[in-house]
């Protein structure tokens, strides 16, 4: 078997013109960096190789974390034939050809590892086509996806494959990749220490990106030139943050923003707001989410929160970007520093549950209008007491259906404005007991 797992033999002068990231691909599992939980001495994949029991897997992780490379290395170290297809460019006819070739190999005593890049791009029917060839051992499937498998892949496929998570490269593993690049190029990267750290941040956990950026720096540097952070930014024109507004990046960051507000951390909340704006998120979407936070997590502990968030949304709509984004930042900080209460949110959910469970119960007759004689004769409106004519403008009557009985949904905490609401409710409860003894 050829020592080069990744390409046919080509002249050295041509090979040296290949992208740096391609030239530095690991040739053994032990050389893979950034995924010690998978490829380290005690990693899951190392154990599978040593035991000789590879099964079908889904590799889930962001770009540039080694999913394709690891799949190729697995096939080599396990002695399996390697087939690769991309769900973007392949259809049912391509799958049939691959399955037939795998069946032929199996008849000759060799198993096939089929690597499917972007497997989440296959529709449900195409995903189902893998099931029989996985079950009878025709192929060992390794699918790669940047999207959450729980949402994008069939349950039947997931039940037959183990999901392994590839993590973004941390600073240490990115440093290791730069060190390997400098050894391969036999020269140091022309960056000062701060610029080197900036390069790592620009890579955003993507190993392929850090090597591509390093290559750009070497191409741009003149003899003896060393770039600082400003020079680096000018040369590479800054790589856009990894962020997909419709997928996991979007949901992860909005979740982080919401929980930072709920946790009363204005600094973290501002950071995630800035991350999303910087990545191109629609500011009005963020305005709507801030309104949601105001009613879910602040509620009546500070009734002004909803007013301010609506005003911030309107201000952005009026001013546009970038001036209007400051109004969103102001609302974000206001929410994070406001007293917190989910009492109304909880009360609403409890009331909705009670409404569904108790059916169409008739309200008590004393609070029903009686526009006809028949309804009067049925007792509609009998005994109703007009609260404004009662002492303290409070009658204390029961307004729940008779078959349901009085129920408490709203239980405000002793925080913020709800402290005053709590006092009122306690006062009315006392009057109710005094004026309507049972």
Contacts of 221 (CB under 8 A, 6+ apart): 190, 227
Number of domains in the chain: 4
For residue 78, the enclosing domain spans: 12-165
User: What is the predicted pLDDT for the residue at 238?
Assistant: 61
For tokens 């997909």, the residue is 244
Rounded CA gap, 338 and 9, in Å? Answer: 65
Where a domain ends, among 185, 205, 236?
236
State the Cα angle at 181 between 175 and 183, rounded to 5°.
105
Rounded CA gap, 68 and 57, in Å? Answer: 12
Spatial strand order of the sheet with 162-165 comes to 81-86, 112-117, 139-145, 57-60, 162-165
Residue 104: how many other CB atoms lie within 10 Å = 12
Measured CA distances, 74 to 38, 48, 102, 387 (Å)? 12, 9, 17, 78
Query: Torsion over CA of 266, 272, 276 and 282, rounded to 10 degrees?
Result: -40
Assigned domain for 419 exists: yes
Residue 303 maps to which CATH number?
1.20.272.10
Together in a domain, 273 and 161: no
Residue 129 maps to which CATH number?
3.40.50.300
Where a domain ends, among 184, 208, 236?
236
Reduced to 3 states (helix: H, G, I; strand: E, B; else coil), residue 303 is coil
Together in a domain, 230 and 252: no
Here the tokens at position 124 are 């449900």
H/E stretch holding 86: strand 81-86
Together in a domain, 294 and 419: no
Assigned domain for 242 exists: no
* Whole-model pTM over 0.85: no
Rounded CA gap, 336 and 263, in Å? Answer: 7
Do 82 and 115 touch, CB atoms closer than 8 A? yes
Measured CA distances, 67 to 156, 205, 306, 424 (Å)? 22, 14, 45, 61
Assigned domain for 294 exists: yes
User: What is the predicted pLDDT for the residue at 35?
Assistant: 94
Residue 418 maps to which CATH number?
1.10.3710
Rounded CA gap, 342 and 300, in Å? Answer: 9
User: What is the predicted pLDDT for the residue at 11?
Assistant: 58
> How confident is the chain (438 residues) per 10-residue block, as mean pLDDT?
48 66 90 92 89 90 92 92 92 90 92 94 91 92 91 90 92 94 93 91 89 93 90 76 61 91 94 89 92 96 96 91 92 96 94 86 85 84 89 88 88 92 92 79
Rounded CA gap, 365 and 110, in Å? Answer: 81
Assigned domain for 421 exists: yes
The string of DSSP codes covering 137-201 is: TSEEEEEEESS-HHHHS-HHHHHTSEEEEPPPP-HHHHHHHHHHHHHHHTS--SB-HHHHHHHHH
Rounded CA gap, 177 and 209, in Å? Answer: 11
User: What is the predicted pLDDT for the residue at 160?
Assistant: 93
Rounded CA gap, 256 and 270, in Å? Answer: 11
Together in a domain, 105 and 143: yes
User: What is the predicted pLDDT for the residue at 248?
Assistant: 64
Measured CA distances, 169 to 58, 63, 232, 247, 437 (Å)? 19, 10, 21, 20, 69
Rounded CA gap, 322 and 153, in Å? Answer: 39
Residue 214 maps to which CATH number?
1.10.8
By the 10 Å C-beta count (0-12 exposed, 13-18 middle, 19+ buried), 283 is classed as buried
Together in a domain, 43 and 146: yes
Reduced to 3 states (helix: H, G, I; strand: E, B; else coil), residue 394 is coil
Rounded CA gap, 77 and 49, in Å? Answer: 7
Together in a domain, 411 and 368: yes
User: What is the predicted pLDDT for the residue at 372?
Assistant: 86
Where a domain ends, among 184, 210, 236?
236
Together in a domain, 284 and 370: no
Together in a domain, 16 and 128: yes
Together in a domain, 423 and 282: no
């Amino acid at each position: 078997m050829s020592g080069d797992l990744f390409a046919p033999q080509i002249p050295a002068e041509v090979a040296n013109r290949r992208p740096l990231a391609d030239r530095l691909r690991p040739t053994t599992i032990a050389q893979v960096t950034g995924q010690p939980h998978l490829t380290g001495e005690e990693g899951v994949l190392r154990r599978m190789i040593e035991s000789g029991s590879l099964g079908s897997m889904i590799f889930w992780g962001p770009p540039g974390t080694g999913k394709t490379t690891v799949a190729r290395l697995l096939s080599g170290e396990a002695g399996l034939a390697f087939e690769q297809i991309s769900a973007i460019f392949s259809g049912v006819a391509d799958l049939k050809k691959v399955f037939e070739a795998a069946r032929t190999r199996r008849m000759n005593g060799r198993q096939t590892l089929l690597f499917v890049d972007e497997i989440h791009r296959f529709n449900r029917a195409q995903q189902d086509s893998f099931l029989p060839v996985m079950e009878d051992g025709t192929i060992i499937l390794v699918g790669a996806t940047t999207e959450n498998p729980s949402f994008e892949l069939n349950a039947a496929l997931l039940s037959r494959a183990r999901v392994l998570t590839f993590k973004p490269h941390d600073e240490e593993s990115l440093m290791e990749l730069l060190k390997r690049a400098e050894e391969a190029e036999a020269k140091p990267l022309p960056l000062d220490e701060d610029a080197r750290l900036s390069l790592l941040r620009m890579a955003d956990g993507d190993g392929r990106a850090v090597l591509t950026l390093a290559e750009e720096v070497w191409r741009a540097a003149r003899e003896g030139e060393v770039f600082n952070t400003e020079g680096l930014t000018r040369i590479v024109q800054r790589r856009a943050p990894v962020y997909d507004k419709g997928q996991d990046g979007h949901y992860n960051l909005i979740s982080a923003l919401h929980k930072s507000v709920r946790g009363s951390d204005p600094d973290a909340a501002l950071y995630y707001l800035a991350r999303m704006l910087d990545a191109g998120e629609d500011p009005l979407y963020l305005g709507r989410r801030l309104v949601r936070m105001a009613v879910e997590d602040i509620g009546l502990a500070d009734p002004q929160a909803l007013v301010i968030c609506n005003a911030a949304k309107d201000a952005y709509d009026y001013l546009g970007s970038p001036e209007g984004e400051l109004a969103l930042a102001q609302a974000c900080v206001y929410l994070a520093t406001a007293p917190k209460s989910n009492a109304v949110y909880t009360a609403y959910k409890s009331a909705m549950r009670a409404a569904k469970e108790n059916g169409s119960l008739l309200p008590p007759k004393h609070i029903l209008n009686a526009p006809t004689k028949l309804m009067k004769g049925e007792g509609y409106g009998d005994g109703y007491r007009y609260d404004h004519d009662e002492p303290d403008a409070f009658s204390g009557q029961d307004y729940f259906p008779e078959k349901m009985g009085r129920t408490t949904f709203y239980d405000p905490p002793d925080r913020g404005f709800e402290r005053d609401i709590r006092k009122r409710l306690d006062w009315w409860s006392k009057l109710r007991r005094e004026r309507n003894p049972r």
